[in-house]
Amino acid sequence: MQWTIETGPGDRYLVIRAAQMEDLYADIIDNHAQSVQDLEIDSNQRMVRRLYGFTVIKSQRILVADSVTTAGTDVASDLAFHKNAIKCRVWQDKEVHMDVLPTRRHAWQLRTVINAGATRARDGGVVEVLSDQSPSP
């Protein structure tokens, strides 16, 4: 028996940092806007929404080794994955805390705490994308 995974539009994601989003947007507008077939951009926010079948997500919360800070080079790593290769889990149920703040005229403070995260379920569906961050001449 052979298993197949149904894939459709919106199943692949590319997660990049804000600096890479700015560089990607500028490069596509300047050099490749006419040649890229599967391209969706948001000119108001200067963001790339879809590129080559990937939904592009801007996030500063990527926990991958960043060689810009660790090795002192100009190469940063980002993440590309298929939605079936990542599993999201909650490790601890939601906790709600309600406190009175006497230093703020007894205003109420409401906080919600949850332990959740995502992990790789299939190695073949998650890849590291290296980005050159060296300054332009």
> What residues contact 60, with CB distance under 8 A and at least 6 apart?
17, 18
Q: Where are the alpha helices (DSSP H) in 28-134?
A: 67-70
* pLDDT at res. 34: 67
Residue 79: what residue type?
Answer: L
pLDDT at 48 (0 to 100): 82
Compute the distance between CA of residue 105 and CA of residue 126 in angstroms, rounded to an integer: 50
**Amino acid 11: pLDDT:** 86
pLDDT at 66: 47
User: Look-up: residue for tokens 């149904």?
Assistant: 6
CB 14 within 8 A of CB 57: yes
pLDDT tens string, the chain, 137 residues long: the values are 333 444 555 688 888 888 788 777 777 777 776 666 667 777 777 788 888 888 888 888 765 554 444 555 677 778 888 888 888 888 878 889 999 988 888 899 999 988 888 888 888 888 888 777 776 65
Q: Which residues pair with 8 in a beta bridge?
A: none
